[in-house]
Amino acid sequence: MHKFIARNLNSSVEDSRVRLFAVYRVSVTEIPEHLLQRSRERRAALGGGDASPNTPAETTSSSSAPVSAEAAVPSGPAPRAVAPEAAAPPPPEPDSFVVSRYRSRKKVPAWAMAGLALLPIWMFMYVRSVTAQAEEASGPLAIGAEQYATCAGCHGGNGQGGVGYQFSEGEVLKTFPNIEDQLRYVLYGTGAYNIAGVVNYGNPAREGGPHLTGERGVMPGFAGAITDYELLGAVCYERYSLGGADPDGDYAEEFEKWCAEESEIFVELQGGAALASIHETHESIIEIGDGPADGSPPMMMEG
């Protein structure tokens, strides 16, 4: 069955080729009527034979055969008309499937080429704009958002808690009503507090009970691991971005002093000042110091 179809297919393809070839040859070998007419007239003029255009066959078979043979030589146009037949090019082969598909393929339009040429420039500008933005991040909260990546593994990306305590929903503010105690604890960590024998690192009167050193696990100290201004940024981020402290309400004074973009303390830390001794140059700050110390209850709000 398959063989039959294949043979049929083959022969029909060959058939059409032969037919094509035949048509081509016929159209080429046909001698135009005006040329025939001219040669008849020539022959008539030279041989004086029958000039009748309607009887060309008679001319060749007439008695004046040598004359007509002679006449045939100079009558240029007739043989020339036959010449193309010998030089006739072979009929064009039909394109194979692959070639015809290649010829009819969609090409990239000119306007798209222009776009493609601009692509490397666009990529260069895009990369620059992205990196420039990263460099521009400034202020305690922006720096803190970056630094918090160090803390997120134990405290959760949104401060929801994990191995370490929860910060969100005001939890971190309950432990540390004063930012200085939080800064101190993050600086030195559980190990140093254990060694120093400091049990209450936060508010001893914490709502829901105080958080005691080592109660939950071991919090690494970050002094020396990150800079002091980065550490302040992370703590600001925990209090204001995650913990829910209101920079325009109860925490306005603290925010302005420590965590606002124009915070003098932050700028001084960037300039090389240390958290441990920052109380020496600023009023009404709880001393952070160079080691663990007891946490403090909320300071009396001054009228």
If one asks whether residue 71 binds ligand HEC (CB under 6 A), the answer comes out as: no
If one asks whether residue 149 binds ligand HEC (CB under 6 A), the answer comes out as: no
Out of 32, 53, 84, 153, which residue is the one contacting ligand HEC (CB under 6 A)? 153
- Closer by beta carbon to ligand HEC, 49 or else 295: 295
Q: Residue 220 gets which letter from DSSP?
A: P
Helices (H), 105-211: 110-136, 140-147, 149-155, 171-175, 179-196
Both tokens assigned to 272:
């090389």
Tell me the window of 95-103, 107-115, 207-215, 289-297 that interacts with ligand HEC (CB under 6 A).
207-215
The 216-245 contact track toward ligand HEC, x by CB under 6 A, reads xxxxx-x-----------xx--x-------
Tell me the window of 18-26, 43-51, 94-102, 184-192 that interacts with ligand HEC (CB under 6 A).
184-192
Q: Are 44 and 58 in contact (CB under 8 A)?
A: no
DSSP string of 52-100?
Answer: -TT-HHHHHHSS-HHHHHHHHTT-THHHHHHHHHHHPPPPPPPPPHHHH
Q: Are 141 and 241 in contact (CB under 8 A)?
A: yes
If one asks whether residue 187 binds ligand HEC (CB under 6 A), the answer comes out as: no
Out of 46, 145, 154, 192, which residue is the one contacting ligand HEC (CB under 6 A)? 154
Number of Cβ within a 10 Å radius of residue 273: 18
If one asks whether residue 77 binds ligand HEC (CB under 6 A), the answer comes out as: no
Chain positions contacting ligand HEC, by CB under 6 A: 150-151, 153-155, 163-165, 171-172, 175, 182, 185-186, 190, 202, 211, 213-220, 222, 234-235, 238
